[in-house]
Amino acid sequence: MNYLIHHIKHLLKVVLGNIFIVTTDKVDHRTYISLGSHKHLARYKYLYLGKDAKVSHQFSFSFTIQSAVKKLFLNTGLIIIKDKKLAAKFSEEVIMQPNFIELEIPLPNTLDEYYTSITGDARNNLKKAKKVGFSFTISHDRKWVDVFFTQFYSPSMLNRHDEDAYLMSKDEMISLINHSGAEFLQISLDSQCVASAIAVHEGEKYSYAKVGWLKGDNALLEQGVTTAIYQHLIERAFELGCKKINLGGTPPFLESGVLKYKAKWQPRFCPDIYYAENYLLLNPSINAGYDFLKNNSLVAFGLKNELIVLSAKLPEETHIPGHLLSDIRGWFLLRKGRADKYSYGLDELPEHLRFWYEKIN
């Protein structure tokens, strides 16, 4: 019996490992392919096909998946490989882009020094939030998890991120809040709690773990509740004597509104901390593939496992503060067409991409 169960599990693993999903816009027929799963890839669907795409998913099977990928790549601008073992067979042809990469704020000695260092946009946000009159308190009441999960966290994540939302389970949240350094940061307006975050204090680090605003109401965002959360998170970190604040996972596209917002607060990339590896086969010779690379600046790991950017924009055109870009080890600028030959200094890129990019730093 044990042998039979083992054999069935092995067979299922083989079958699932040889399935690929073709995701297509039924209107303009743009297509990308994912292997392993199409879940938690909503961002690619939006960025590659467009938010208004009429999408269909077709599941296909191949006994020789490696050969199938090579054939599919000839006519597809983007193939996403979720399986690390399969990706290893294309190790010289893929770049790795996680779903999220961590950002961290290194803190100076004083709060005044920190506020002097942030962007003018962040200072304007703070002034606006202060006029509204938000206040904050710290709570260690573990029983508040139910309220936070149902009235703040879940509706906010679903309203804000839709299909791209990753929801921590309530059991995981209970485990998190039972951590000795965990606490609720509660933001109030007119004596009502309108937003809350779970933060964790560990040594010299204060981590921004989970957040939500009452019923996911976007009107609260317009009033500046996110700024109020950041303000009190930062002030609490200084109060605890911390040296850095972890801002959590961030989408690795420089056009991302989440990344742009966090960038105001002087963070740095944490290349060692990321979530959900996506191995990308990129084909700019396909119009849809080229448009994807032209319209989006990808933060990814190159062949030398260093953080790089693939973009059609110069660094200054992205309007991302220089302190964040200082962690990028190579900036590759998309050409208007394929070059006849490529120059030196492109070792971080798969060879087929070197004809399409020039390194600018």
278 and 344 fall within a common domain: yes
Q: CATH number, domain at 162?
A: 3.40.630.30
39 and 123 fall within a common domain: no
87 and 173 fall within a common domain: no
Does residue 223 sit within a domain? yes
Task: Give the pLDDT of the chain (361 residues) as one tens digit per residue.
Answer: 555 454 444 444 445 568 889 999 999 999 999 997 666 778 899 999 998 899 998 988 888 888 999 999 999 999 999 988 889 999 999 999 999 999 999 999 999 999 999 988 999 999 999 999 999 999 999 889 999 999 999 999 888 766 666 788 889 999 998 888 999 999 999 999 999 999 999 999 999 999 999 999 999 999 999 999 999 999 999 999 999 999 998 999 999 999 999 999 999 999 998 888 999 999 999 999 999 999 999 999 999 999 999 999 999 999 999 889 998 999 999 999 999 999 888 999 999 999 999 999 7
CA distance 113 to 127: 17
Does residue 126 sit within a domain? yes
Residue-level pLDDT at 161:
67
CA distance 90 to 260: 32
Residue that terminates a domain, selected from 202, 223, 242? 242
Domain limits at 191? 108-242
Give how many domains the chain has, as a whole number. 2
Does residue 55 sit within a domain? yes
Does residue 251 sit within a domain? no
170 and 286 fall within a common domain: no
74 and 112 fall within a common domain: no
Structure tokens at 205: 């680090």
For the stretch 17-20, contacts whose Cβ atoms lie closer than 8 Å and that sit 24 or more positions apart, written own/partner, are 17/65, 17/83, 17/86, 18/61, 18/62, 18/63, 18/65, 19/59, 19/60, 19/61, 20/59, 20/60, 20/61, 20/62, 20/65, 20/68, 20/69, 20/72
Does residue 253 sit within a domain? no
233 and 280 fall within a common domain: no
147 and 32 fall within a common domain: no
Does residue 235 sit within a domain? yes
Pairing of the two strands 192-202 and 205-213:
antiparallel
Does residue 262 sit within a domain? no
Write down the pTM of the prediction: 0.89
Phi, psi of 218 (to 5 degrees): -65, -20
238 and 307 fall within a common domain: no
Does residue 179 sit within a domain? yes
Structure tokens at 142: 């573990």
146 and 172 fall within a common domain: yes
50 and 154 fall within a common domain: no
How far CA 193 is from CA of 125, 151, 231, in Å, comes to: 20, 11, 16
CA-wise closest residue to 304 among 350, 344, 273, 270:
350
